[in-house]
Structure 1
Amino acid sequence: MTENSNSEQDDRVLDFDTEYEVGQDNIRPWGLDIHNPVFVISASVIILFVLVALTNQEAAAAFFGWLRPFLTSTFDWYLMMSINILLLFSFALAISPLGKVRIGGKDARPDYSYAGWIAMLFSAGIGIGLLFFSVLEPMYYTLPQLDAWPLGKDPSVPGNETMGIVGTVFHWGLNGWAAYVVVGLALAIFHYNLKLPLTLRSAFYPILGERVWGWWGHVIDILAVFSTLFGLTTTLGLGAQQVAAGLNDVFGIPTSETLVVVLIVAITAVALVSVLLGMDAGVKRLSEINMIMAVILFLFVLLAGPTLYLLTNFGAVMRDYMIELVPLSNPFGRSDDGYMHGWTTFYWAWWIAWSPFVGMFIARISRGRTVREFILCVLIAPSFVCALWMSVFGGLVLEQMANGYQGVAQAVADYRPEIALFRMLDQLPLYSITAPVSLVLIVIFFVTSSDSGSLVIDTITAGGKMDAPVAQRVFWASFEGLVAIALLLGGGLNALQGAVVSLGIPFTLVVLAMAWCLYLALRSERYK
């Protein structure tokens, strides 16, 4: 508490004194540490969802097939404007005096080196997407028969050559990462600076006060659990499909729903081992291995392909990305429904759905960083790396098509997205090595997403405790796999995407409110 010259409380400083203690209302049956009623409601609804989806697969497929296009076409303006607000808010914080506030207080020092910190936030924030979409999207946005040209610009017309890659970079660049910045920074400030539990409800203390420990807080945390779980299962489902396609392409193993289910079960089991090892021995080590393998694969593609062309093309892509950023962010008066509704609005809902998971994970590992440092590293650095990756992989696949190779184009036109990466690698040397390496990399992305996600959900359902019993982590890691199986069997890709959009839309309101609460908290810290 700070006093002004009249001994009255400065209205810029918030009073966060509260009698709440982490875990004070937890119940502990069977050795679990359950935050009642968040765990009970979340777990019950998830179990019910799995049972209904598995026993009514045709009905689930029909429902999700209708749900996704309805939501993305109805709430397009809402999702796009919300993401724009979060991006502008992040930049405003970075350049303002509030950027000097240090997470954990002025004497706090980082727990992890830059290399370890960035490796973990990058692995958690990107997941399997780099390998799944970096070849698929640029080709999808280039083929005329798929009717998905960004801004309606034909990439075959001189001056529009980079639009397929620019449209991809837009989805993996600044706009999406802004959601992670707001949620992650809010959780970090409220936990490390204001000593509140590391859970979503804590960020709403400035506007809800003690009510955050009641049903208002329960609803926020339950929604965060659902959003995180369905955001994760979309990624896990895509990864399993890609691994199955790679096993078929490299080793001739027939692709089937059974194989995909077996892969999800097997990789979830590996994720459980990582969960049991904990943050430093499990997640951190796998994230660093992941980054090393990803860099090796990237350098191989860059050097084995037309290196000079790919680097030159990256410069052109970045130039055009900056030029087209505002038009691509504008939801009004667009004539490219295939691109905006089929891709952009789905992506923004997906990023939002991932934000409680990635945000809380980044918050846990970011003590000691300044607000400005946090924003620059979480917003700028990953966006740049994603743009470079997408430019190289996308530039190579488009160059292959220009030189007469139609393997990737045919796979995308047939909508077999899981095989696109392998069709591209097939044209480079050492395919018998790079394809298995890619499979291992996908699996590790799968594992790091699953174990870090289960740690986050466990923290939320335990009321903010970061040392909840291992049995709870095992429960949530297991059910991530079960939900992915239920969605894949009950509608495939449409079900995965429909589920994540349906949760991302309501959670967008939560993230926007968190931005305002974050501003109030940073103002308080600045004036103390």
Structure 2
Amino acid sequence: MKQVTSVFWVSIVICIAFVLWGSLAPENLGTVTGDIQGFLTKNFGWFYLLSVTIFLLFSIYLIFSPYGKIRLGKQSDRPEYNKITWFAMLFSAGMGIGLIFWGSAEPLAHFAAPPNAEPETIEAARNSLRYTFFHWGFHTWAIYTVIGLAIAYFKFRREAPGLISATFEPILGNRVNGLIGKTIDVIAVFATIFGVATSLGLGASQIGGGLAFLTDIDNDFLTQFIIILIVTVLFMFSAWTGISKGIKYLSNTNIVLAVILILLTIIIGPGVYIMNLFSSTLGEYLQNIPSQSFEMAPFDAKHNEWIEGWTVFYWAWFIAWSPFVGTFIARVSKGRTVREFVLGVLVIPSLFSMFWFAVFGGTSLKQELDGVNTGLTDLATEQALFGMFESMPFGVILTVVAVVLISTFFITSADSATFVLGMQTTNGSLNPPNTVKLSWGIIQAATASVLLASGGLEALQTASILSAFPFAIILLVMIYSLLKALKEDARRTFQKPDEKTNKNNVK
């Protein structure tokens, strides 16, 4: 533990304080954090929407800019991982378990309570999938693109510490090593700790829901606690083996299982319908991106409330998650060009995510519309996917594959989080000590367990999202800092020899 920095100890104190608050007074924590989050959502929803849209526009700009040729490392460096493994790793850390959790549940939720259509109609079904595409598409991955690119660029190109604060060196200079820099890193660690802890709790709840469908096991706290213990042992073993073994193999396994589950659902389910639905919804999504990116519906109170409860909440949640996801993506992206990085992080995961929702959300909607399974909208969120499988041939097999996939995504996310937390609290070490990683693993599991028992898990999730507001500002300033560095770098790297000679002669 000699390598840990002050960020580690400050973060531990904050973690203990919030866990005690959530376990001893969960209702009070929920009320306080909920009131603050409600205030931010109501008064600064427009800020979240504008910020995330700026992240997307900046990412698109980088694809076509001259900076796209700059490599994340020396110009002679090449990627450490092949493209399939790289994609699998960034996808597993960034979105895997969320897709399983919401794959059927979110389209069904929008179908039952749409923002601007009659509930449970064809129009509501069409809009439900389009809004789901919007929530899990380009905007979300643009957040991760910005922070991941900035960290990777400064770490591998400028050999700075792999810290979020290090990306502000062009603006702050040596002050990144002082109070301002430490504050930025503590905010990042705070969001990561509680974001992952709540995901551990929610993931355990969904695995328990799947087991309840398969067996007579009750999805109660004891079941979820045992799941957390088992998963903790597995991801700590994976963390011990290192990123090039544990996370790499798990990520590849995740992609294989995800593709198998998709193919089985298409073959057994309404395959042609799914492909037609994906094509038409993708077109509607692309057509409506400009208007949805800025939509706050000030003249429609119901629609405005829906946007605040879904879109603004999601943007805040994904921004809160971005320090964890961005740092991990940066770690596995050395040697790629800026253009390759942006295309890989922004486009491919977005399309995969949208296709995922077309398969599972689309199948669920068809079952509801056809009257095959009209009780899906009444199921708990963690049970919606399994309820859909129950009405299909070989539903038990699909449920088993889904539970295994949830588990491997679960382990991968927790493993990745321990690595990121270790990296952020050991001055950006690319290979943090196992003792530090295992310490964070125990802290995350204990936090999730205590708050599940006390009912404070959702309150802690809200507390984590509160960090999104200052972190959105941090990301906007990060764009300016990165642009400043890229401009200087491009001038040095791609300047023609005769231009350099002429400048020297002038001098």
Aligning the two structures, in what range does the TM-score lie when normalised by the shorter sequence? over 0.9
For 1:110 and 1:52, how far apart are their aligned partners in 2?
44
Compare 244-253 and 308-317 and name the one that shifted more.
Answer: 244-253
Q: Equivalent of 2:254, from 267, 274, 290? A: 290
Contact 1:134 1:389 in 2 (8 A): yes
Runs of 5+ unmatched residues, structure 2 = 493-507
Return the alpha-carbon distance in structure 2 between the equivalents of residues 91 and 242 of structure 1: 35
C-alpha displacement at 1:249, in angstroms?
1.6
AA partner of residue 388 (structure 1): F
Q: CA 1:301–1:220 in structure 2 vs 1: closer, same or farther (change >3 Å)? A: same
Residue range with higher mean Cα deviation, 232-241 or 304-313: 232-241
Question: Which residue is equivalent to 2:500?
Answer: none
The aligned residue for residue 33 of structure 1 is 3
The question of 1:176 aligning with 2:156 is answered: no
Give, as a single letter, the amino acid of the residue that structure 1 aligns with 2:216.
G
Deviation (angstroms), 1:161 = 4.5
Do the aligned residues in 1 keep the contact of 2:148 with 2:327 (CA within 8 Å)? yes
Counterpart CA distance in 1 for 2:261 and 2:329 is: 25
- Name 2:192's counterpart in structure 1: 228
Task: State whether structure 2 residue 12 is matched by structure 1 residue 43.
Answer: yes
**Alpha-carbon distance in structure 1 between the residues aligned to 2:103 and 2:67:** 36
The amino acid across from 1:261 in the alignment is: F
- 222-231 or 57-66, larger mean C-alpha shift: 57-66
Are the aligned partners of 1:275 and 1:451 in contact in 2 as well (CA < 8 Å)?
Answer: yes
Which residues of 2 match residues 351-500 of structure 1 at below 5 A?
A: 351-404=318-371, 405-411=373-379, 416-491=380-455, 494-500=458-464
Instruction: Give the secondary-structure state (helix, strand or coil) at the position aligned to 2:427.
Output: coil
Q: Which residue of 1 aligns with 2:226?
A: 262
Q: In the alignment, what sits opposite 1:312?
A: 276
Is the contact made by 2:29 and 2:456 (CA closer than 8 Å) also made in structure 1?
no
**Structure 1 residues 433 and 333: CA distance shift in structure 2, 3 A:** closer
Question: Residues 247 and 253 of structure 1 are in contact (CA less than 8 Å); yes or no, is this contact kept in structure 2?
Answer: yes
Matched, 1:271 2:235: yes
Give the superposed CA RMSD. 1.7
Residues 372-392 of structure 1: per-residue CA shift (max 9 Å, x gap): 111011000110011111111
User: Which residue of the partner structure matches residue 71 of structure 2?
Assistant: 102
User: Deviation of residue 238 (structure 1)?
Assistant: 1.8
Asked whether 1:84 is paired with 2:48, we answer no
Q: Give the residue type in structure 1 aligned to 2:104.
A: V
The 8 Å contact of residues 103 and 188 in structure 1, kept in 2 or not, is answered as: yes
Q: What is the CA-CA distance between 1:64 and the residue it aligns to? A: 4.3
The 3 A distance-change label for structure 1 pair 210 and 394 is same
Summarize deviations over 1:444-503 as a string: whole Å, max 9, x none. 111111111110111111011123321110011111222223443444563244123212
**How many percent of aligned residue pairs carry the same amino acid?**
39
Aligned to 1:199: 163
Q: C-alpha displacement at 1:346, in angstroms?
A: 1.2
More deviation in 229-238 or 264-273?
A: 229-238
* 1:162–1:320 Cα contact (<8 Å) kept: no
Q: Distance in 2 between matches of 1:311 and 1:386?
A: 14
- The separation in 1 between residues aligned to 2:8 and 2:381, in whole angstroms, is 36
Q: Which residue of 1 aligns with 2:96?
A: 127
Amino acid at match of 1:358: V
User: In 1, Cα distance between the equivalents of 2:390 and 2:2?
Assistant: 49
Is the contact between residue 32 and residue 471 of structure 1 (CA under 8 Å) also seen in structure 2?
no
CA distance 1:268–1:329, shift in 2 (3 Å): same
Who is 1:72 aligned against? 41
Partner of 1:26: none
3-state SS in 1 of match to 2:282: helix
Does the Cα contact within 8 Å between 2:79 and 2:333 map onto a contact in 1? yes
Give the Å deviation of 1:185: 0.5
Q: What CA distance in whole angstroms lies between the structure 2 residues aligned with 1:95 and 1:263?
A: 46
Which residue type is aligned with residue 195 of structure 1? E
1:109-148 alignment runs, 5 A limit: 109-143=78-112, 146=113
- Cα distance change on mapping 1:486 and 1:341 into 2, 3 Å: farther
| Amino acid of the structure 1 residue aligned with 2:76 | D
1:344 to 1:221, Cα distance in 2 relative to 1, 3 A = same
Aligned length: 488
1:27-66, CA deviations, whole angstroms, 9 ceiling, x for partnerless residues? xxxx43111x211111111122222222223333443454
Alpha carbons 1:83, 1:178 under 8 Å: kept: yes
Corresponding residue of 2:313: 346
Q: What is the match of residue 208 of structure 2?
A: 244
**2:242 aligns to what SS in structure 1?**
helix
Whichever residue aligns with residue 381 of structure 1, its letter is I
Q: Any conservation in 1 of the 2:448–2:457 contact (CA below 8 Å)?
A: no
Deviation at 1:343, TM superposition (A): 1.1
Partner residue of 1:521? Answer: 485
Which one-letter code corresponds to 1:367 in the other structure? K
| Conservation of the 8 A alpha-carbon contact between 1:123 and 1:290 | yes
TM-score normalised by L of structure 2:
0.93
Partner amino acid, structure 2, of 1:441: L
Alpha-carbon distance between aligned partners in 2 of 1:160 and 1:421, rounded to the nearest angstrom: 19
> Which one-letter code corresponds to 1:95 in the other structure?
F
Conserved? CA contact 1:425–1:435, under 8 Å? yes
**Alignment match, 2:496:** none
Deviations 1:205-256 (A, max 9, x none): 0110011111111111111101122222232222111111111121111121
Q: Is the 8 A contact 1:397 1:408 kept in 2?
A: yes
Q: C-alpha distance in 2, partners of 1:437/1:225? A: 33
TM superposition shift of 1:331: 3.9
More helix by share: 2
In structure 2, the partner of 1:508 is 472
Equivalent-residue separation in structure 1 for 2:361 and 2:138 (angstroms) = 18
Q: Distance in 1 between matches of 2:317 and 2:434?
A: 28
8 Å contact kept, 1:181–1:375? yes
The gaps in structure 1 that reach 5 residues or longer are 1-30
Contact 1:50 1:482 in 2 (8 A): no
How many Å separate the matches in 1 of 2:198 and 2:37? 13
